[in-house]
Amino acid sequence: MLWQKSWLETRWRFLIGLGLLFCSASVMVFSYPQVLKLMPLVPTNIGGALGEKIRESAELARTFRGFVWSSWFRENDRQLVTLFAILLGTATLLWPSGGALFTLSLPVSRQRLLAVRAATGLAELFLLALLPSLLIPLLAPAIGQSYGVGAALIHGACLFIVAAVFYNFAFLLSTFFSDPWRPLLIAVAAAIALALVGRVIPFTALNLFGVMSAESYFRHGAVPWGGLLAAGAIAAALYYAAVANLVRRDF
């Protein structure tokens, strides 16, 4: 019953997210031939930071692997999965419209209630992080390219582990508020702030978004184990904080 209730309350967020990610991955793959045609038109005489950024993007796009990483894992996929991780995390027990008092009066402990809700959301988040990325190796032969399933799995796993931090952060915020908007806005603002700060953090293990895109794996073939372990520990701490907060509250 708890699993079914959790699924029914989050299914549309999950299905909409999965549909958007599938569409985005498909458009990205099938746009690559057009990107290759535009490569000779890329200006090379622009100086400064903008010119360097243009040259870097053009260099990455010369190979399908580089294009996928820069356009998908570093940009679209990372942003969309982070957003839907927060949306899934804010599917809280405490919304008045969600039957909070009925849910909390069920003959199960609050710990089990939160465990089922968190497990459902994390399972949905795992599929959001993995399935659209696995679509890329399936579609690549249609444009005469190839992409490794192993690389898609590694990138998807990195994406999921770091996205779990944002999921559990939104989950924690949802135990403080009885409406969906404040947890959503606070979590989105925190993600944006972290992304801005991450641009100037030189240590990959401390840069969650750098770990999320698995930049070290793309450039050097090294899985960012330190960053993944740190992200997993943060996600677990946020979950236990959410449980502790809900268990001690009176309703």
Output helix, strand, coil percentages for the chain, rounded to the nearest 5.
80, 0, 20
Residue 115, pLDDT score: 87
Residue 110, pLDDT score: 72
Amino acid at position 48, single letter? G
Q: How far apart are CA 77 and CA 73, in angstroms?
A: 5
187, with CB counted inside 10 A (0-12, 13-18, 19+), is: buried
Instruction: Say if residues 226 and 205 touch (Cβ distance below 8 Å).
Output: yes
Amino acid at position 232, single letter? G
Distance spanning both ends of the chain, measured CA to CA: 22
Residue 205, pLDDT score: 42
- Residue ranges per structural domain of the chain: 2-33+63-248
Q: How far apart are CA 177 and CA 108, in angstroms?
A: 22
pLDDT per residue, tens digit, the chain (251 aa), is 777 877 888 889 999 999 999 999 999 999 999 988 877 666 666 655 656 676 777 778 889 999 999 999 988 999 999 999 999 998 755 544 445 545 555 566 778 888 888 999 999 999 999 999 999 999 999 999 999 999 999 999 999 999 999 999 999 998 888 778 899 999 999 998 887 776 665 544 457 888 898 988 998 889 999 889 999 999 999 999 998 888 776 65
Residue 109, pLDDT score: 72
Instruction: Say if residues 248 and 228 touch (Cβ distance below 8 Å).
Output: no
Q: Model-level pTM greater than 0.85? A: yes
Residue 51, pLDDT score: 60
